[in-house]
Amino acid sequence: MERPELPLPQLHAFVVLAEELHFGHAAARLGIAQPPLSQQIRRLEDRVGHPLFRRDPGGVRLTPAGRELLPAARRALAGLADGLAAARAVGRGEAGRLRIGFSASLALTVLPGLLDAFRRDCPAVRLDLREMTSAPQTAALHERAIDVGLLREPPADEPDLRFRTVLSEPFVAVLPAAHPLAGRRTVPLDRLAGEPFVLLPRAEGPQLYDRITGLCAEAGFLPRIAQHAVEWQTVCALVGAGLGVSLAPAGIRRIRLRGVAFRRIEPATARTRVAVAWRADDPDPLVGRFLAAVDEVVASGAS
């Protein structure tokens, strides 16, 4: 047989009366008159099917059924209070879960500072970090699989997404340590013409790929792609193995691999843009709190 649900107002009245054991005191504590309190208790007793209180000239006492119900009633009320508090915290952007997509190379630069700033403001929020390249991030935002993304060279044709610049960093040449150009402090980009290149596949980050090949075109050549690799660490490893050269964001220099040299390039104005991305119609307050952390880090110059 299906068990009847017990309305929370009746449980509240029951718990207060069980604690006061006096109808007048309980009614005053609840802010109601005694007749409505008696009606609440009577309805609850009708639902239970047994008296919950014994009324006699000496006062009010719990019956065995009442003593049995009291702990469960308190748990139900406490659970509701906890749920309301949690809902309010989520509504204020102080709790909940934030799903963040990020390009792996940004773990070497801006990501730690952004996470630190956000966690200082929202320590109770659960972070779900997902490593993915730029194109999968924009797809995941459209599919609502992530809430914000950190990517390179954001696309210009995404009207449903918003982007905010976090960092602009120069490119560097990635060379085998034994390469003749590795002896220079700065490498003119046109000196890489004719060299085999190791690059990320265009499908993983079309804008970054086009930015790199566009820089080469401005220097008077199109790069000859000898090998693709999805992660920058793999790109550097393949360069160190002598499979070619590459152009990479300057933060990649923090990958310490033997046999690899990183050198500044000319023109020094060649830079790549890092941005935070989010859905234009996302009402989640946690997204707003994360964007505030981004603004804090950018304003401090820590990025």
pLDDT score of 6:
55
State residue 175 phi and psi, 5-degree precision. -130, 150
pLDDT score of 191:
96
Domains of the chain: 8-91 (1.10.10.10), 97-166+273-300 (3.40.190.10), 168-272 (3.40.190.10)
Dist CA 88 CA 86 (whole Å): 5
Could you tell me the sign of the dihedral formed by the alpha carbons of 278, 112, 207, 230, in that order? negative
Mean pLDDT by 10 residues, the chain (303 residues): 60 86 88 88 89 84 88 86 69 77 90 92 90 93 95 90 93 96 94 95 91 94 94 94 95 90 91 94 89 89 63
pLDDT score of 303:
59
Q: What pTM did the predictor assign?
A: 0.68
Q: Crossing angle for the helix pair 23-30 and 34-48, nearest 10 degrees?
A: 100
pLDDT score of 95:
58
Q: Which of 277, 246, 256, 270 is nearest to 152 (CA)?
A: 277
Q: Report strand pairing: 148-152 vs 126-131.
A: unpaired
Q: Which of 202, 189, 198 is nearest to 252 (CA)?
A: 198
Report how far apart the first and last C-alpha atoms of the chain are (Å, whole number). Answer: 63
pLDDT score of 213:
95
